[in-house]
Chain A
Amino acid sequence: MALSDIKLNFINRSSDVNNSTVVVFQQNVAESFGEIAIAWKVIENCGRLDNHPFTYPLNFQIAASDSYGNYTPRLDAVDGMAYEMVKDTSGDVLTVASVPATSSAEVEVRNNLTQGAINANIYRSGRLLAAKTNMAPGQKAVFQFHPRIYIGVVNQIVESDVMDSAVIKTINTELNLFGISSADIVMTGGGPGPGSLPFEFHLENINTM
């Protein structure tokens, strides 16, 4: 595990009786807020008083796929870097671009093929974090993430699912991870019948960097 990883530990201290599923995601701030997001981490079957540790690395991997259905290997990415899909003597490949990203806080993926759209995917901890699809030649995907995650209860969702604005609007808790090296994310609320409380999240056992 890299030194920069943030260790998070989800703890279910709710009164939930519906075996609810918890989803964690991030917003690509280079795109408009609330339009689309990917279910980055899904916590299932985490019963009352169970915990579920997971890691939030600060670095990413990126990959692309072309119109022929080819998927590139995942490349390690850091803020400020740019990548380009180009055709070389072997076929379509994703390489580090000679011109860096416009902003040092962003990661870019450019479609520098002469023809054919590509999809650009960005991963954190090996799981899909965000994607930009159907990029025509000359277009680029821009990814930027603040150190914050969104967490909420959503049913019938699996990791890498695309969440539309209607789903995103139901998730209203934002956890700010600036300066944190580890923390417990505690879920409370829930319960049966009319006395059921809204689910709430808070941080405990915080260690800072």
Chain B
Amino acid sequence: MILRIEAGPQPHRLDPMGKKACATAAGELPGQVDDIRVVRVYTVDSELPGDVLATWSRGALSDPITDQVSINGHLPTEADWIVEVDFKPGVTDNEGRTAREALALLLPDRPVPAVYFGLQYRIFGRLDRAQVHRLAEDFFANTLIQRIRIASRAEFQSGQMLRANPPVVRITHEPRVRAVSLEGDDAALEALSRQNVWALSAAEMKVVRAWFERPEVKDARRRAGIGEALTDVEMECVAQSWSEHCKHKIFSANITYTEDGKTEKIPGLYKSCIQATTKAIRERDGENDRCLSVFVDNAGVVRFDEEHGLVFKVETHNSPSALDPYGGALTGIVGVNRDPFGTGMGAELLFNTDVFCLADPRREEPPPTGLLHPMRILEGVRTGVEHGGNQSGIPTINGSVVFDDRYIGKPLVYCGTGGVIPLSLHDRPGYRKYVQAGDLVVMVGGRVGMDGIHGATFSSVELSEESPSSAVQIGDPITQKRMFDFLLKARDAGLYSGLTDNGAGGLSSSVGEMATFSGGADIDLAKAPLKYAGLDPWEILVSESQERMTVAVPPDRVDAFLAMSRLMNVESTVLGTFTDSGTFTVRHDGKVVALLDLEFLHNGLPRRELAATWTPPAPVEPDLPARPDLHGLLLRLLSRLNIASKEYWVRQYDHEVKGRSVVKPLCGANAQGPSDAAVMRPLVDSLRGIVVSHGLVPRYSDIDAGAMAAASVDEAVRNAVAAGGDPATFSALDNFCWPDPIAPAPDHERKLAGLVRANRALAEVCLAYNLPLISGKDSMKNDARVGARWISVPPTLLVSLIGIVPDVRRAVTMDFKRAGHLVYALGFTRRELGGSEYLAELGLASTDVPVVRAAANWKLYQALHAAMGRGLLASCHDCSDGGLGVALAESAFAGALGCAVDLAQVPVDAPDLRDDELLFSESAGRFVVSVAPDRAGAFEAALAGLPVARIGEVTAADRVELRVSHGNTVSWTLAECFDAWHAPLAFSAGKDRT
């Protein structure tokens, strides 16, 4: 007997969610859709006592003021079409879980049946069945994870939908362990790898084969009773541990690099460019070393004050977001939360960041087969991060959205999380782990299901039409919040010795990595609580079901730990023990199903040998218009997607929960100006703050990925300085998203050469800025294959930055503050239009990409920060996309004040720059600032000897007035600038697609 409850707004009540769906549908099918009403559907695969059903359906499932409820029958409707959407079996159903928890309150000490949630769209309009189907597939559901049922009014009223079965998981399969044979030639091994989504090469599989053929390995296996043959549990564990996602094989590879006819060997980019840079800076800093824990844990840790450290990590979740933008992004944000949380002994989470790289959402033609429309990706990703961040109570304080049509193959979804960690916890550093042999392996949080199997290996292959849907998970922020609430309490009570995240690779990864602290682990998979029966042992081991941490609990604390877990309504299960045996032993119901040498598992992977060749592009001079229409061009630039206002995102993200925000993403007279960076106070009772910023300019990669990387670092630093951060305290994170640089990907040697150049530039600029890299990640397969065609992202490096604002009352925003203030340009403007938004708008190319003169910039940044510390700046805005012209316009309309500026005064280090070059060149290391007249003397003295020039003043007029060459003047009203900038991405509710 299936019980079905419908709840929805009473006929005379407004239905904003229905209106929102209607606006979307009406936008697609103009004139055909009059209205949509949304009804929530809860299905139970069981009977319930009448009083329980009444209390539950009226008290928990519906609102007594606005809703009506129907049990086992439809709420009446005259709608023309009805679309019902629910989840496929096994997909995380958060609403259903909460409904079940409410039901459990009414059924104490009795079994509580599962509850399944669905949404019903009741469409009033003139559509045919095919159109309804298309609406359902394109806007109401993602058929990868959801089921759609469609009924006409007559079909609906006949009760056809009442007979739909709930999505119960039924697995008749008996769990078992299979032997794996690695016999055969390279082709056979590669086929085997592909078929199982192991993402290993034939060479790597032969290393595995050779290991298991060793006599001493065979011996040990016989003694343990597992038999000589490799098991599927072992092979999956090795494949996960050796995946590109986990092992960073390309960043570790030996590279033979050729440039200008010269060839050299690079012993791993990670080691020689990233680690070496940080090491050099730490040595240089000596006693003032800000780094506390780098490259050894889930996130980097740096010093904040005498008692606190800062933890920061950024991850990408590109492949899942391409398939299910909502679930992928939601899982991305709640997933990266677990990295700082799982660092050391655990951090209190402070903030989120997000950066999305997407294709133009206004695309008219349908996307290539197998790919989703960019607007759908935009809205799904946006909503996923909204739900993940907002429901977790972590403010999203910094981010951006970058558009380039090559991201249609794979959107890039960067999610970051920062936290604060006690320097001392129970008399030892809080940023380390203390796992010892004998500690128990405890899995905490959600249960294990088939969701997310092969996420780690799947993200290491390019997308195709056969991509497995089990790689998609849906996050559950509330289960995670409960877990974090509990674990912070357990941390402070000293109930565990270490913890780590269950992310990519699941238990295989988390237990396998934590085992390196003690020297081994022995777990029994049969003890892991499952969402449903029928999982094979290997599936339990590598499942990436969300909201789980692996915790090491000393035996004398385990009772207290488990009791607190029960109290806080969190499931915790002892799976086994950390050992010092040197092996990772996995059992199922006592029987050994995997016996893996830890040294082999973590260090047995042979380094790859790769080749890269760099040929600089032939110089291109742009054929600039003889008499550019500066007035029109600035407005066009302000409307470009990469420059236009991102208020649509910012407003829908809670950016000030925790009550410690100082500089929000939007600032100025009407709180609509684009802040350069975020400033917040980590502690409620201290005025010491942090600044968080980022830089990325993927379009420069088309000329040189090295220039792209250098500019990304400079932009991040510039942004942080502009808001008041002390450049001596900055730390950075590098997140590379690259097109596949390995054969058979087209042009792979050049892509790899770009990676080499990007790493070298990153190292060089970081050394000049004394900027340690404290954490990073790389995602190296950002391609989609559509038939024979590769759609590859431009090489993209995101540099995220965290630093200190010594006194938040000295933070500075980018809006002009008062008429009469003086406007200065800082830093040289050069003829560097290559890769600029200006040339992109004109459809022109140039190879004159901005070059970062780091040593000179560094002097300016330090002097500027010192001047800010003395309160000499009224506003400060970094010049980046769109150059000086855009920066001036933004500072003006953000402050609701005009300005009068003479372009001839702008600092240049070469003569004869054209007006459009002065206005739109994107040279690095520049700012537009304003200064009160009574502080101008002190300001100019503080920056003496640096490229600084007074270029005009802030005015009370509502115009930006620019004196250009030949005595001409160009002017814009603030309103036309603001409207041009604000309109392109200010989607009305009708554009929302979820």
Answer yes or no: do A and B interact: no
